[in-house]
């Protein structure tokens, strides 16, 4: 790309990357995984992985982008011809994620409309979510609306406008989330939930917890899918890479932490002793939060505002997912922008509908024992992303060497204090860990071992 623009200002890069990172991963996915995998146990695994693995991979990806000024496919290829395939593999991840991400995006709009029309009390009922997703046309309608909104933004190239709006809305979402946390934590019964969320119990720990935390880390920080390479390619040389990585991680993890703090204790408050709800999985946010809003004085309004903000967080992420796919296809096949957008739009609809139906009329289809949506999620987060991460580590550790990345991080005299950690992580710890985790997850999914 000839005129590769730069992010202006020091925080410009961090804000843009954090904008991609913060999305449904933080608000929807993190809390349900934390609830499911032992609360504090999951949290501590996640935080440890974030400052070691997350730091290493994000530094490597951003540096690769900034050094080559290319996005994933070109970046790997330009440094070593044999690794062009890695960029292609990374590009497949957003292609898998976008359709099911849009299904969840549709659920968010549905819940926004429910609150807006004053039906929070209905949404607070236990059966509401299952009845909704089990329906034939309704979930598909909201899914289509979400895809159309995403596509319209990408086709007409108005991402900038949406980004500007969301830059203003995201701080509001932070404040609202914190406010809901305070409300939840002052309710009767919240303390048990708080303890569950914060205190680790060794008995809850298993390889599955690590696997889930690792997949979540990739997903939430938009790693192992080429996104951070693209962002890095727009980053200025003067911007301190190590510091930026720390800031993005801090922001992303902080957001996830508070989302969990809002949702996990709520399960304890409203489950009436039935803690099976902790294992609700993808539905957790939608089942729990309406109960919280319903118990508040102006719950309909708070619920509507909350889901509207979540919608914007989801929309900015889905836009960046779609934009990534469109630009990869345009580069590869030299198609025009409009036509590429339309092809991606049709693809997302065709692939998303089965994920939606998997909770309803197609709920008998259970690939690897999971719902269709969960199976896509598993394939991208627990299989493909660890593979991409593993090969990236090998590529950096043994082919271009960690020094290449460290030199890039030290460009323009910048300090990069974690050289030792970075080198050991990328050459040894990360690859060994990734192989172990990948093998165990795949063997577990195929029933060869039971985790």
Which position has the token pair 């996830």? Answer: 256
Q: Which of 17, 26, 149, 381 binds ligand PFF (CB under 6 A)?
A: 26
For residues 323 and 341, give the distance between their C-alpha atoms in angstroms, rounded to a whole number.
9
Q: Which of 153, 315, 321, 389 binds ligand PFF (CB under 6 A)?
A: 321
Q: How far is the CB of 319 from ligand PFF (least distance, A)?
A: 8
Site stretch for ligand PFF (CB under 6 A), options 156-164, 181-189, 215-223, 416-424: 215-223
- How distant, in Å, are the alpha carbons of 76, 87, 123, 333, 363 from that of 82? 8, 11, 53, 21, 42
Positions in 227-246 near ligand PFF (CB under 6 A) = 227
Identify which of residues 20 and 371 has a Cβ nearer to ligand PFF in the complex. 20
Site stretch for ligand PFF (CB under 6 A), options 21-29, 42-50, 149-157, 166-174: 21-29
Q: Which of 17, 18, 21, 326 binds ligand PFF (CB under 6 A)?
A: 21
Q: Which of 120, 324, 381, 392 binds ligand PFF (CB under 6 A)?
A: 324
Is 285 a binding residue for ligand PFF by CB under 6 A? The answer is no
Q: Please compute Rg for the chain using Cα positions.
A: 21
Identify which of residues 381 and 440 has a Cβ nearer to ligand PFF in the complex. 381
- Count, residues near ligand PFF per rule CB under 6 A: 16
Q: Which of 56, 222, 253, 355 binds ligand PFF (CB under 6 A)?
A: 222
Is 381 a binding residue for ligand PFF by CB under 6 A? The answer is no
Helix (H) or strand (E) holding 293: helix 284-294
> In whole angstroms, what separates CA 277 from the centre of its chain?
22
CB distance 346 to 333 below 8 Å: no
Q: Which of 7, 16, 19, 25 binds ligand PFF (CB under 6 A)?
A: 25
Which position has the token pair 């304890």? Answer: 268
For residues 238 and 236, give the distance between their C-alpha atoms in angstroms, rounded to a whole number.
5
Is 405 a binding residue for ligand PFF by CB under 6 A? The answer is no
Q: Which of 20, 52, 356, 392 binds ligand PFF (CB under 6 A)?
A: 20
For residues 263 and 271, give the distance between their C-alpha atoms in angstroms, rounded to a whole number.
12
Tokens of 114: 């429910």
Q: How far is the CB of 226 from ligand PFF (least distance, A)?
A: 9
Site stretch for ligand PFF (CB under 6 A), options 60-68, 316-324, 326-334, 372-380: 316-324
Identify which of residues 26 and 382 has a Cβ nearer to ligand PFF in the complex. 26
For residues 208 and 170, give the distance between their C-alpha atoms in angstroms, rounded to a whole number.
32
C-alpha closest to that of 67 among 54, 55, 80: 80
Q: How far is the CB of 414 from ligand PFF (least distance, A)?
A: 26
Q: Find the Cα–Cα–Cα–Cα dihedral 334, 336, 338, 342, rounded to 10°.
A: -40
Q: How far is the CB of 4 from ligand PFF (least distance, A)?
A: 18
**How many CA atoms are closer than 13 Å to the CA of 299, on its beta-carbon side?**
20
Positions in 152-171 near ligand PFF (CB under 6 A) = none
* Phi, then psi, of 15 in degrees rounded to 5: -65, -45
Q: Which of 59, 177, 220, 340 binds ligand PFF (CB under 6 A)?
A: 220
Q: Find the Cα–Cα–Cα–Cα dihedral 175, 176, 178, 179, rounded to 10°.
A: 120
Identify which of residues 260 and 402 has a Cβ nearer to ligand PFF in the complex. 260
Q: Which of 120, 320, 355, 423 binds ligand PFF (CB under 6 A)?
A: 320
CB distance 315 to 162 below 8 Å: yes
Site stretch for ligand PFF (CB under 6 A), options 44-52, 155-163, 222-230, 367-375: 222-230
CB distance 288 to 263 below 8 Å: yes
Identify which of residues 20 and 356 has a Cβ nearer to ligand PFF in the complex. 20
Site stretch for ligand PFF (CB under 6 A), options 20-28, 80-88, 115-123, 351-359: 20-28
Positions in 92-131 near ligand PFF (CB under 6 A) = 94
Residue 186: partners with Cβ closer than 8 Å, 6 or more residues away: none
Site stretch for ligand PFF (CB under 6 A), options 23-31, 150-158, 272-280, 297-305: 23-31
Is 24 a binding residue for ligand PFF by CB under 6 A? The answer is yes
For ligand PFF, which residue has the nearest CB?
A: 25
C-alpha closest to that of 275 among 266, 284, 267, 286: 267
**How many CA atoms are closer than 13 Å to the CA of 382, on its beta-carbon side?**
22
Write the DSSP assignment of 8-61 as a string of letters.
-SHHHHHHHHHHHHSSHIIIIIHHHHHHHTTTHHHHHHHHHHIIIIIHHHHHHH
Identify which of residues 118 and 254 has a Cβ nearer to ligand PFF in the complex. 254
Q: Which residues bind ligand PFF (CB under 6 A)?
A: 20-21, 23-26, 94, 219-220, 222, 225, 227, 317, 320-321, 324
């Amino acid at each position: 790309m000839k005129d590769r623009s730069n992010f202006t200002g020091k925080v410009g890069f961090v804000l843009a990357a954090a904008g991609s990172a913060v999305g449904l991963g933080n608000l929807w996915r993190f809390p349900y995984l934390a609830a499911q995998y032992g609360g504090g146990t999951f949290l501590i695994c996640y935080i440890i992985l974030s400052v070691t693995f997350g730091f290493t991979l994000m530094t490597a990806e951003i540096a690769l982008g900034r050094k080559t000024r290319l996005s994933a496919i070109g970046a790997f290829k330009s440094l070593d011809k044999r690794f062009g395939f890695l960029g292609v593999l990374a590009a497949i991840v957003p292609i898998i994620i976008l359709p099911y991400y849009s299904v969840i995006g549709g659920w968010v709009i549905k819940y926004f409309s429910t609150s807006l029309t004053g039906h929070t009390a209905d949404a607070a009922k236990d059966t509401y979510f299952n009845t909704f997703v089990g329906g034939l046309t309704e979930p598909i309608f909201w899914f289509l609306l979400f895809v159309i909104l995403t596509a319209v933004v990408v086709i007409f190239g108005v991402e900038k406008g949406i980004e500007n709006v969301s830059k203003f809305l995201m701080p509001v979402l932070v404040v609202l989330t914190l406010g809901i946390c305070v409300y939840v934590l002052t309710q009767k019964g919240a303390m048990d939930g708080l303890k569950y969320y914060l205190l680790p119990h060794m008995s809850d720990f298993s390889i599955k917890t690590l696997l889930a935390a690792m997949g979540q880390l990739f997903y939430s920080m938009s790693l192992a899918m080429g996104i951070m390479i693209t962002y890095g390619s727009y980053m200025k040389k003067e911007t301190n890479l190590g510091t930026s990585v720390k800031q993005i991680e801090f922001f992303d993890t902080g957001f996830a932490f508070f989302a969990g703090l809002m949702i996990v204790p709520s399960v304890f408050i409203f489950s009436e002793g039935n803690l099976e709800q902790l294992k609700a999985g993808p539905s957790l946010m939608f089942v729990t939060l309406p109960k919280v809003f319903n118990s508040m004085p102006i719950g309909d309004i708070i619920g509507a505002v909350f889901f509207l903000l979540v919608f914007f967080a989801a929309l900015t992420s889905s836009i960046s997912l779609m934009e990534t796919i469109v630009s990869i296809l345009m580069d590869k096949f030299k198609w025009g922008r409009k036509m590429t957008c339309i092809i991606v739009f049709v693809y997302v609809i065709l692939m998303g509908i089965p994920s939606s139906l998997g909770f309803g009329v197609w709920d008998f289809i259970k690939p690897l024992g999971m719902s269709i949506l969960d199976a896509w999620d598993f394939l991208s987060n627990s299989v493909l992303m660890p593979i991409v991460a593993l090969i990236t580590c090998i590529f950096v550790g043994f082919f271009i060497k960690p020094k290449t990345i460290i030199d890039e991080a030290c460009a323009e005299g910048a300090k990069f204090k974690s050289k030792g950690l970075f080198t050991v992580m990328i050459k040894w710890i990360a690859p060994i860990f990734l192989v172990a985790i990948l093998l165990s997850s795949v063997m577990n999914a195929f029933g060869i071992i039971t985790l």
